[in-house]
A = this chain, B = another copy of it.
């Protein structure tokens, strides 16, 4: 099915794991896929050319941050977000709900929306479902997220029910506010760790027949078992013919579990944040590149990785860059970490296509010990 606002074709399944193609206004995205995070219209340290080198098809930017800086008028004046950041493939913008609810004391929630103060200058702003859709459409993004209400875990049942109620109401208003066919609106399922609340949230959002659905409110401090349980449970509530996006995940282990539970899309700051901090991600184990063991190690970060950092630089050199506080270190490790995620997703897609997913998953999960957790 290729819909006007972004279509998803499901090619093959193995168990719950899915291999599909999401077609958006700036090209296709083979799924499962990881979306690099470019919060402020830049994936930290990397250029669009870098991201294309490892076949990134879609990246994520953030409504909250771009709304405050540089602001809608600036991005519109420069021809929209793609032109502004010189990225000619797909962009998904988060709605800003997660960020606003992280402000806590600085925000005020009502049925109409949420008022908040900027973390930059204290200025007052209001997000409503309508203004957030209008903002994302003005930026010209390929996927817009509906404004949702996030609650901190653990939360009282009442708080979760209220968040689900408002998130549904806001998703309806978001859908009604759409004016641009090239922007696909995804709804966000909330409900914390409560399966009944997740069911209600999913059921109500699915009625809106949106072009895609996200699972929000996870990866916020709950246990890994809860993350895996609730994401798998929620994915199964969503329509087969729509893409499913698990927000804020992940790590290698969590993404493999997510794919196994039927997730198609992931995003997380983890690979770039690790890259800045000297943590080189691997399929099975990570390296703290500053470790004494690497100071004279001539090997690449990961001998099985085909990225241009691994085919060029030694652990010894990368270790030196971090020890010396050189900015090339974060750049190169961020590149490797994202390239590794891209390769892992390509391998997962191939495994599902060829009926080897269960073996691929088990092979990786057996070894993905605690070192790969956030």
Q: Give A contacts to B, CB under 8 Å.
A: 40-42, 44-47, 65, 69-70, 73-74, 77-79, 84-86, 276, 295-296, 298, 312-314, 316-317, 320-321, 323-324, 326-328, 330-332
Tell me if B295 and A70 are in contact (CB < 8 A).
Answer: yes
- A158 CB, nearest partner CB in chain B, Å: 38
A74 to B45, CA, bound (A): 27
Interface of A is mostly: loop
Chain B residues whose C-beta falls within 8 Å of the C-beta of A296 in the assembled complex: 73-74, 77-78
Tell me if B314 and A78 are in contact (CB < 8 A).
Answer: yes
Tell me if B320 and A74 are in contact (CB < 8 A).
Answer: yes
Which B residue's beta carbon lies closest to that of A329?
A: B42
Chain B residues whose C-beta falls within 8 Å of the C-beta of A46 in the assembled complex: 328
Contact of A324 among B47, B69, B84 (CB under 8 A): B69
Known: A74-B316, A74-B320. 15 other contacts (CB 8 A): A41-B320, A47-B328, A65-B324, A70-B295, A70-B323, A73-B296, A74-B296, A77-B296, A78-B317, A84-B317, A85-B317, A86-B317, A327-B330, A327-B331, A331-B331
- A113 CB, nearest partner CB in chain B, Å: 25
What are 24 A-B pairs with beta-carbon distances under 8 A?
Answer: A40-B320, A40-B326, A41-B320, A42-B321, A42-B324, A44-B327, A44-B328, A45-B328, A45-B331, A46-B328, A47-B328, A47-B331, A69-B320, A70-B320, A70-B323, A73-B296, A74-B295, A74-B296, A74-B320, A77-B316, A78-B296, A78-B314, A78-B317, A79-B298
